[in-house]
Amino acid sequence: MPSFKPAYLIHGDDHGRIGERRARLRALAEIQGGAQGVELLEGDAATPDAVAAALSAMTFALGRRFIVIDGVERWKDKDLDPLDAALAHMPPDTTVAFFAREEGRLKAPARLVAAVRRAGGDVAAEATVKPWELPKWVAARARELGLELESGAARAFVAHVGERQQRLLRELEKLALELGPGGRIGITEVEERAARSAELRAWTLADALVAGDEADATRSFLALRAQGERVSGLLYLIAQRLRAALEVARALEAGGSAAEVKRGLRMPSRAADRLISDAGRTGAGKLRRALEVIADLELSSRGGGAGSASEDTGALLAIRRIAGDGQARA
């Protein structure tokens, strides 16, 4: 059985990797102590006071006890007094794990980093790799999987698949399964076997929302999340498309012709035709309300809302509000 330290803090802007480490820790914890030995604190319930109270509470669970806390990137140093004291006197056979999905100004508090280390715990940063470092990163991950990349293949792989580390790793894992240990990958194999990043783009999701197609939008969202796309990045692109669709709908409702509107769109001809058709059918009022829904979701995802739903749940609910009945509802 693996041994566990009293505390862990996993933080950084590589949200996909952080999610993987959280899932792995939870699986190992359930193997060792059963599901009843794992306590999850997330959303509004994940506060320093709540964690301190959980650490001081008695438990009748057998074996090691695990407390998993999400969202600590929203905590402030000034709120950590009770938790600081609790971590200094950790109960036996207990592991507490903090997860911080950092972005912009949202960071794991420096005081929490210090407290975890004083408690004898581990602090690990999971940071995204800079774009110019990705070929080297891909080559290293390929070696770990038993693959050999020929000269230029790593750079071609990044250009072909995209810059999302989780997507790149998934594609390497697929190639490792197909080719087996010692598999050799050149530029030709990259072009023939690796999935293009354009296959699952946020525009597919955004266009489904403009058209009011809930099923297609939901499928696209889940596929994009599975390949490592961040909710915040998807919201930005969705808002862009919805604003463009709103301008198209307003122009059409003001009497403009489809041909006139199309000349003002900077996109491929077929994509422009679809946007004009969908926006005209959906109408400016519904598109405006859809933008309001996305704005509310973006505010909530950045800590400005009071909801306790996870990012994925909030996004799926927003998709239903926008496209569930083919219209956005306030």
Q: Token pair of 288, please? A: 């405006």
Q: Does one domain contain both 135 and 119?
A: no
Sequential pLDDT tens for the chain (330 residues): 568 899 999 999 888 788 888 888 888 888 877 777 889 998 888 999 999 999 988 666 667 889 999 999 999 999 999 999 999 999 888 999 999 999 888 999 999 999 999 999 999 988 888 888 889 989 998 998 999 888 888 988 887 777 778 778 888 888 888 888 888 888 887 877 665 544 446 778 889 999 999 999 998 888 888 766 778 778 888 888 899 999 999 999 999 899 988 888 877 678 788 899 999 999 999 999 999 999 888 877 665 444 444 778 888 999 999 987 544 433
Judge contact between 226 and 199, C-beta under 8 A: no
Q: What is the pTM of this model?
A: 0.49
Instruction: Indicate which CATH number applies to the domain containing 292.
Output: 1.20.272.10
Give residue for tokens 């980093």: 113
Q: Does one domain contain both 86 and 115?
A: yes
Contacts of 230 (CB under 8 A, 6+ apart): 15, 103
Structural domain harbouring 187: 131-197
Give residue for tokens 């800590």: 303
d(C-alpha 223, C-alpha 207), whole Å: 15
Tens of pLDDT, residues 275-310? 999 999 999 999 999 999 998 888 776 654 444 447
Contacts of 323 (CB under 8 A, 6+ apart): 208, 209, 211, 212, 213, 214, 217
Instruction: Indicate which CATH number applies to the domain containing 185.
Output: 1.10.8.60
Q: Token pair of 102, please? A: 């950092």
- Taking alpha carbons only, the member of 186, 189, 137 closest to residue 166 is 137
Last residue of a domain, one of 125, 145, 170: 125
Q: Does one domain contain both 104 and 216?
A: no
Q: Does one domain contain both 175 and 238?
A: no
Q: Is residue 329 part of a domain?
A: no
Q: Token pair of 274, please? A: 């679809």
Backbone φ, ψ for residue 310 (5° rounding)? -70, 170
Q: Is residue 266 part of a domain?
A: yes
d(C-alpha 258, C-alpha 280), whole Å: 9
Last residue of a domain, one of 168, 197, 226: 197
Q: Is residue 330 part of a domain?
A: no
Q: Does one domain contain both 135 and 120?
A: no
Q: Does one domain contain both 26 and 74?
A: yes
Q: Does one domain contain both 210 and 309?
A: yes
Q: Is residue 241 part of a domain?
A: yes
Residue 68, H or E segment = strand 65-70
Contacts of 17 (CB under 8 A, 6+ apart): 126, 165, 166
Q: Is residue 2 part of a domain?
A: no
Q: Does one domain contain both 217 and 178?
A: no
Contacts of 215 (CB under 8 A, 6+ apart): none
Q: Does one domain contain both 107 and 21?
A: yes
Q: Is residue 99 part of a domain?
A: yes
Q: Does one domain contain both 185 and 206?
A: no
Q: Is residue 183 part of a domain?
A: yes
Number of domains in the chain: 3
pLDDT value for 59: 66
Instruction: Indicate which CATH number applies to the domain containing 108.
Output: 3.40.50.300
Q: Does one domain contain both 159 and 267?
A: no
Q: Does one domain contain both 296 and 209?
A: yes
pLDDT value for 194: 66
Q: Is residue 1 part of a domain?
A: no
Contacts of 233 (CB under 8 A, 6+ apart): 202
Last residue of a domain, one of 96, 125, 154: 125
